[in-house]
Each structure stands twice: as C-alpha cells, then as structure tokens.
Structure 1
Amino acid sequence: MSSLYLHIPFCSSKCQYCDFYSGVGSAAEIAEYVELLQQNITLLKKELPQQSPLTTIFFGGGTPSLLSPQQLNALLATLRQTFGVAATAEISIEANPGTLDLARLQGYRQAGVNRLSLGIQSFDDRQLAFLGRIHSGTEARQAFAAARQAGFDNISVDLMFALPGQGLPDLERDLSALLELHSEHISLYGLTIEEETPLAARLAAGEFTPCDEDTYSDQYRLIHQRLTAAGFEHYEISNFARPGRRCAHNLAYWKRRSCLAVGCGGHSFYETGWGERWLIPSDLASYRSQLATGHNPARLLEDFDRQTAMKEYAYLALRTADGLARDDFAQRFSCLPEEVFSAALNSCQPYLLNQDGAWRFDLAGWLIYDHLISHFL
C-alpha cells in the first residue's frame, strides 16, 4: 500500500471546537495554495523516485470541499503524472455540507474522487449553531442526497456526541436520522474541549456545562448498540463500516504503514528503519518560501528506535477491532507482545480479550482507552 494525504488549511469559518491548523482563505489564496501543493508533490517525488503508485489519497483539512472541481482535478493530474495512481485507488475528500451542491459533487466524482467524508456533526440545528457549523440539518440531508445523485456509492458521515445538554433521547434522534441515510461508513466523535479554542473560552466563561463521564459512557454504548444492530462493524474506537467499507487510508495509519503528506501542517510517516515521522510546519509563509527555493518544507519530528516503534505499534493496533496480532507483531519485531508488554497486558486484563491470536480491548476498554494505553507507553 502507498498512501498520500493532502492538507487543505482553509475554511469558510472556524468552528468553535476546532484546533486543527486552518483558517479562512480567499479564492486567490486557495488558488495559490493549489500551485504550492503541486510544487510540493513534484519535489517529494524527486526525493522518492522508487515510490509505488498510490493506493489511497485523502484530501483533509480544513475544508477541502472549498477546492473547485477543476482545482482538485489539477491536483489529481499532478499525482498521476508523478507518483501514479492505482486503478483501484481509494480517493477521499472531506466535505462540509454547507459548501456543496450537485454540480460541485459531480465535478469531484468526474475528477476521480470515489469516497466522500461528509462532516454533518449533528442534525439538531441548535447544536449546529453551538458548534459554529455553517449548515443546517436539512442542508446536511440535501448534501447527502446530492452526493448519491452525483454517483457517490461510498459515503462516510461524521457525527458528534457528548454535546452540552444532549440527552439520550436527543442522541437517539440524531442516530435515527443518520441511519435513514444508509451511508457506508460512520465516524462518531465525542466533543472534546481543546485549549485555545473559542469553545474553551466559552467554557471558562461559564456559558455551558460539558458532558459528564457517565453520560459520555451511556451515549457511547448506545451508539455501539444502535449501529452494530443496523449492520455496521465497529472496527475502530470511533469508526463503523458496512462490510468491506473500512477506510483504507486510515487503516494505513492504524497499521503503521508509510503515508506521505503534502500541504502546510501535514504529517508523513515512513517505515524506514523503525520508522520516521515528518512534519510540515503550520506556517504558510515558510511553506511558500521553502518551496520557492526548491527545499522540502518537511522537518523530522521523530526517529523511532525499536522500543518506541513497538510502543506505537501497540498503541495504534489496540485502537482497532483487529487488535494487537501476535503473528504480525512477531514478524515486525521478532518477539511476541506478551514478552514486551507483560506488565501492561496484566494491568489491562479486565478489559482485554485474547482471541484468534490477537489482544483486543472490549467496549469498556475502549471507553477508558487513554487510561489503559498509558500502561504500554
């Protein structure tokens, strides 16, 4: 597998909860940025001449659906001319329902995008306003219907839970609306209040009360129950898929496979040695100047040794339903998980399943994943 991520750091407006590198950009700024991405792709290919054709491509952000179909097509054309793109490649774009119409979606589909990740977040207009989203529940449904009309048969929907004032009946309504869409994939995220976001400032000012742990747990269990009963596979802490519809690009991350990145704020991972992680700094002026002088804007963030590689491998694998597979671990590191993580596995026993040659967290374990995984780190 060969994967590439393109970071598009522009939005129509900044959501209240978002701490990703993004900001409001003009049409001229977005057009210039597309040219910078093309330069970045060409430069990266020169440094990696043996890189095989891409099997997954992911446009993330930010709001990648601010790109016109022509701009997206130009970027895909550059990728085809440099790295090459496999005929069966999964090509995904994140999209805000408030930026979409049928013509734009048809243009994306004609350009070669075959997977749409739709950031609905909620069908409750009051919650959407609280989150700072630019669309309504009705517009979210219309965007999904337009995507189907445009020919998308692989659509993922993002939904948030653990929202302030959201009770189980409210979540039930959101889940029912979600299931009526019959999407192929669903990502569910509990609201997190990140530092230095507008939402954090509002919390400090006492404008709302965050969700408590018991409510979070009840909502997470309800989500699991409703979606698995509807035929979805809960294949990662926050992700559900119809059979055969797991996100191949994200699986590359969770399986610790190489994934290239271009764009300001992008992270690359290379399987070289025990692994290297590179970061393109979140500084558009620096990004522009580095590319103008023919320099790779990426900087080495972490160079793994065997011990840190094993820890990260376990950390990522235990996020997934496939779990920490003994044979895969042994093939990579020439030892077994229980030889390296004996104390950690014992500490997590009440929440661990050891089946079919793999260690997995149960649902209760996923609920306290951050606590349990600390034993491995």
Structure 2
Amino acid sequence: MAIGLYIHVPFCLKKCRYCDFISYPYSRTAAKDYLAALIREIQLYGSFLDEVEKETASLFIGGGTPTCLPMGDLREILGCIRSIFRLTPDCEITVEANPGTIDAGGLYELRRTGVNRLSIGVQSLADGLLKTLGRVHNAAQAGAAVRLARQAGFDNINIDLIYGIPGQTLAVWQETLDRTVAFEPEHVAAYGLQLEEGTPLERSVAIGDMRACPEELELSMYHTAIISLKKSGYHHYEISNFARPGRECVHNLVYWLNLPFLGLGPAAHSCFRGERFANEREPEKYRSRLRRGELRVADRETLTVETEMSETMFLGLRLLQGVSLAAFRQRFGRRLEDVYRSEIKRLTKDGLTEIDGDYLRLTERGLPLANRVFLEFV
C-alpha cells in the first residue's frame, strides 16, 4: 500500500497571532542547518524502509511556511525525496504557500520541479481581518498569488479560509466566499478559528481587547460556506473541505482513512508499521539525533487493535460519506455494527448519525456537532 509523506518546514517570516503550531523565525543559517538535517533524515529512511514501503501516493510539504525557503532549497528537498522514495505516476505533490512569500519566478520553478498542487493560505480577503490574524499579506496580494499560480501552470489549487474571526460579520464572510469562488480554485478548505491558549489573539480576547465571535454567528458562517460552495459546484466531502469532483485532497484522505503515513522534519508525526510516533520538537535536538545517524523519535505509541478501530471511526466520520462497514470488517475482521452497537444506537437515537447503505455517517444535524459524535469513539 502506497504511503503518504509529509515534510514539515518549521519557518515563518512572522508567526500569526492565532497560531500555536511549531514554527520559528526564518534565518538563512537556521534554514541551512534544517536542510542538512532533513536530507539526512530522508537518506536514513532510505536504508530503513523496504522497497514496497517507499511507494508514495502523496507528498505534502507544509509548515510553517515552506515558500519562505529559497526555491533552491525546495528543489533540493524534492530531488532527495525522488532519489529515495518511489513516487507513483499520479502522486499528488502539494506545497503550502503564503501570499507575500511567492512570486512568478518561484511559482514557475515549483511547477517545473513537479509540484502539481498548491495550497494557498489566503485565510481572509478583508484587510482588517488579516491584520487581526497577524498575517503578513493583504487581500490584493492574496488575489495576485492565485492569479500568478494559474499563470505558472498550476491546475490544482487549494485556498484556505478562516471564519469566526473576532470582528468578522456574516456579510464580510459572504464576500470572501464570493471572491474565492471567482478565483475558481479546485479546492477550498474553510476552518472555524480556534482560539488556542497562550496565543496573542487568545490573550487579546481574554483581556477584553476584542470580542470572540459568538457561537451562533460562527455556526451561521459554517452553514453559509456549505450553501455557497455547494451552489458553486463544489463537493462537500469532509467537515471543512470542499472540492471540484475528482479534486479531493489525496494526502488528507490518507489521514481521514487512517492509512499509513510518514512525517519528516522537526515535530512531524507519523503512523507507520502499527505505531504512532513523533519527531523531536526542538530543532537542535532533531538535528543532533540525525547527526548521530539516529531515527529515534521523541514519542512512540504501539497501536492496539482497539486504538486503530477507534481512530478509524473518529477520523473516518469527518468524511461526509462516512465509514465503510465493509472496509471496517475487511480491515479488522469484525462488524462495525457489533463493535460499536451501543454508541451507534445512542447517536442514531439523537439524530446525529445514520447508516446509509454501506456507510455509517454524520447526519445534517450531526455535522456541526461532530466533536460530540467523535467523543463516543475515543
């Protein structure tokens, strides 16, 4: 079975006010050290994996901001990956890009190196809200980034959006959706803002400098996104993700279908050979282990069958098609309806899930209450 491969680039020009991901200010010295360690990690996996395990159906370079690296660095990363892993002929190769860190030359270079999908972190098309989020770009730069990507030859573009931002109105959100659809991206991801503890934005809300988006308004924004994007021809295939038919994100489907993947780079997570594990978070610890030729990781968990079944449920229910009863039985040798009989009975009685043919899935009522459903399977 072909794996998914994730590469974490831990640098940003500036950390956004809502972000609690592992990222560090970009410097050329730090980037050179990171690149040397990452290349070493890729090479070590070359001697660790057998040939079947090297087959790769999706490659996702995320962060951080991968496009704050020089194009030469990204080209070197892609070249090293190709020398070790066997990318399938139709392998989806995605790079995350932020407006303000990409130009026409860089985009042409990415496309020439074989990157066939670009994920652009637009987040909003309202300048005031971009400032609230602490983004380094404005709305005009976001639009320019999409147009330049098209001119560079990208025919598979994702646009990331955020709703539920303090100060955001339903009308402003609708305008962002309308302008996004006008760009004609193949994929749109719309996420509700999470006020993560300790972030500058969360602290601003906590001390009363700004008000959090009311829960009812955020729910209205979610429903507005569903209506607008479906009306514009997008398939709502995952709680927060919408795609033109056949343009669903292959890499994210690896996660939602609970399939094996490897994560390389500091703080990257993997699920492979029946284990879930993570790399060192601190760059220096990550680099020092690799200098010693070690692939040992910071955290490791051996997955029991019960854990794998649980994860298959709460990840798979993120997909609107739901969890396949037949696939569950084939994978685990047990009927989903028997393993989770009481949970399904309770959720169905509450109108949150239903069995439709071969799939257990969320109902329309269950969609905005998905986290409540997932807790039943944790």
TM-score range, shorter chain: over 0.9
CA deviation map 1:56-80 (0-9, x unaligned): 1100100011122211111111111
Whether contact under 8 Å (1:287, 1:297) holds in the other structure is no
User: Counterparts of 1:11-160 in structure 2 under 5 Å?
Assistant: 11-50=12-51, 51-160=53-162
- 1:144-180 Cα offsets, whole Å, 9 max, x none, are 0000000000000000001112221111111111111
Which residue pairs with 1:325 in the alignment?
A: 324
Whether the aligned pair in 2 keeps the contact of 1:7 and 1:261 (CA below 8 Å) is: yes
- Percent of aligned pairs with the same amino acid: 37
In the TM superposition, 1:100-249 aligns within 5 A as 100-249=102-251
* CA-to-aligned-CA distance 1:214-244 (integer Å, 9 cap, x gap): 1111111111011011111111111000000
Q: 2:322, 2:189 → 1: CA distance?
A: 19
Q: Does 1:374 align with 2:355?
A: no
Q: Which residue identity does 2:288 align to in structure 1?
A: S
Q: Deviations over 1:237-285 (max 9, x none)?
A: 1100000000001101111111111100100111x3xx31110021111
TM-superposed deviation, 1:28: 2.1
Distance 1:327 1:106 in 2: 44
Contact 2:12–2:23 (8 Å) recurs in 1: yes
Task: Give the structure 2 partner of residue 291 of structure 1.
Answer: 290
Any stretches of 5+ residues in structure 2 without a counterpart? none
- The DSSP-based 3-state class of the residue aligned with 1:72 is helix
* 2:308 paired residue number: 309
Residue identity opposite 1:315 in structure 2: F
Structure 2 counterpart of 1:343: 342
Amino acid at match of 2:184: H
Q: Which amino acid aligns with 2:343?
A: A
Q: Which residue of 2 aligns with 1:259?
A: 261
Over the aligned positions, Cα root-mean-square deviation in angstroms equals: 1.1
* Partners of 2:6 and 2:61 within 8 A in 1: yes
Task: Give the secondary-structure state (helix, strand or coil) at the position aligned to 1:353.
Answer: strand
Asked if structure 1 preserves the Cα contact closer than 8 Å seen for 2:54 and 2:84, the reply is no
Displacement after TM superposition at 1:201 (Å): 1.4
Q: Does 1:365 align with 2:366?
A: yes
TM-superposition CA deviations, 1:81-122 (whole Å, max 9, x none): 112222221100001011011001011111111100000000
Equivalent residue of 2:137, what SS? coil
**Residue pair 1:276, 1:300 contacting (<8 A) in 2 also:** no
In structure 1, give the amino acid aligned to 2:76: A
Range with bigger deviation, 146-155 or 204-213: 204-213
Does the residue aligned with 1:119 lie in a helix, a strand or coil? strand
Partner of 2:279: 280
Counterpart CA distance in 2 for 1:28 and 1:112 is: 27
Q: 1:29 and 1:146 mapped to 2: Cα distance?
A: 29
SS in 2 for 1:376: coil
Counterpart for residue 9 of structure 2: 8
Distance 1:99 1:364 in 2: 40
Greater alpha carbon shift after TM alignment, 53-62 vs 363-372 = 363-372
Q: SS of the residue aligned with 1:123? A: coil
1:334 matched to 2:319? The reply is no
Deviates more, 1:311-320 or 1:288-297: 288-297
| CA displacement at 1:297 relative to structure 2 | 4.2
Q: Please, which moves more after superposition, 221-230 or 76-85?
A: 76-85
SS in 1 for 2:54: coil
Report deviation, 1:364: 2.6
Answer whether contact 1:202 1:208 (CA < 8 A) is retained: yes
Q: Displacement, 1:52?
A: 3.2
Instruction: Give the counterpart letter for 2:24 in structure 1.
Output: G
Amino acid at match of 2:50: P
User: Aligned to 2:141, what secondary structure does the other structure show?
Assistant: helix
SS at match of 1:99: coil
Structure 1 unaligned spans of 5+: none
Task: Note if 1:352 corresponds to 2:324.
Answer: no
Letter in 1 for 2:372: H
Contact 1:45 1:82 in 2 (8 A): yes
Q: CA deviation at 1:303?
A: 1.3
The normalised TM-score by structure 1 is 0.97
